[in-house]
Amino acid sequence: MLFAGRDVTIGRFRCDVGCPSFRDTGPIRNAVVVFPRTSVWIRHEGGQPFVADPTVVTIYNRAQRYERFAISPEGDHCDWFAVSEPLAREIAAAWRPESGDVPDRPFRDARAAGTAELYAAQRALQRRAASGRASALELEEKTIGVVSEVMRLAAGAAVPATPVVRRVRDRAASRRRELAEAARALLAATAREHRSVSELAAELGTSPFHLCRVFRAETGQTLHAYRVALRVRAAISMLDASEHGARASLSAVAHAAGFASHAHFVRICRAALGCTPAVLRARLA
């Protein structure tokens, strides 16, 4: 626990693969948005499993039950931001007016596709909370902004559950979703490796063309863009020196995250975050 106010709580969660309660750590206590640092499978009660990795923000209502299954050998490491139920209902209603239909479950989505900018912002907010130097007003205001942005992203990506949509969710659509999720899991497990499309497709038991087409249709991204996004988030974590002893050089961070060179790292960082790695490290500090 890094900060606990009346309506806002900020914390970090760690659960190693060997923990006896890894699969089920019990129901969520508050309405929470969670930023994974590692990759796991998550299955909300009554829902389909999906990959929760650093490109995703997972969303939970109070008392939400769920299960997790390992992908990363590091287990489940994440940062989380909780809000009170009245605040959750108000934020949710701003983006989804129908959220008021089920008062005790205002968050209608299990996840949102995050952005690199939001990921960096929440890490900086975690640092401020851990420092003990930030005021409650600052932490609460910024947390509300983070949760609101997650709800905006979730609402923008959601597909209305109309009767027509439900009818077209046939077996073929289910197989496509499963392939896309399996590809995300494989990319998360091998993000720092330089695997080709053919190698990924062979491991998933499909053709390169089918994999590319299905992944783009289901996620809105190419396989390459998705892997770059994972590498950017890994680099953000490594540039945040608060939890690492000696500061690694920028070239070392670039190599560890899977970038071809320091120059490549700088170019991708500018494109994704609008700044160089050196500037980002200074902001996180």
Q: What percent of the chain has pLDDT over 90?
A: 70
| pLDDT tens digit sequence for 66-122 | 999 999 999 999 999 999 999 999 999 889 888 767 778 899 999 999 999 999 999
Residue 158 has pLDDT above 90, yes or no: no
Place of tokens 């693969």: 17
Residue 165 has pLDDT above 50, yes or no: no
Which pLDDT band holds residue 18 (cuts at 50, 70, 90)?
Answer: very high
- According to the model, what pLDDT value does residue 167 have? 56
The domain in which residue 239 lies consists of 225-284
Residue type, 255: H
Which of 150-164, 197-211, 221-235 shows the lowest per-residue confidence on average (mean pLDDT)? 150-164
| pLDDT tens digit sequence for 205-256 | 998 899 988 999 999 999 999 999 999 999 998 988 655 545 788 999 999 9
* CATH classification at residue 124: 2.60.120.810
Q: What angle, rounded to 10 degrees, do the helices at 250-257 and 223-239 form?
A: 140
- According to the model, what pLDDT value does residue 102 have? 76
151 and 208 within one domain: no
146 and 70 within one domain: yes
- According to the model, what pLDDT value does residue 169 have? 57
Rounded distance, CA 124 to CA 264, Å?
24
- Assess contact for 249 and 273: CB atoms under 8 A: no
Q: pTM to 2 decimals? A: 0.81
Average pLDDT of the chain to the nearest whole number: 89
Asked which of 197, 220, 243 is the last residue of a domain, the reply is 220
Asked which of 113, 129, 157 is the last residue of a domain, the reply is 157
Domain count for the chain, please give it. 3
238 and 215 within one domain: no
Asked which of 141, 157, 173 is the last residue of a domain, the reply is 157
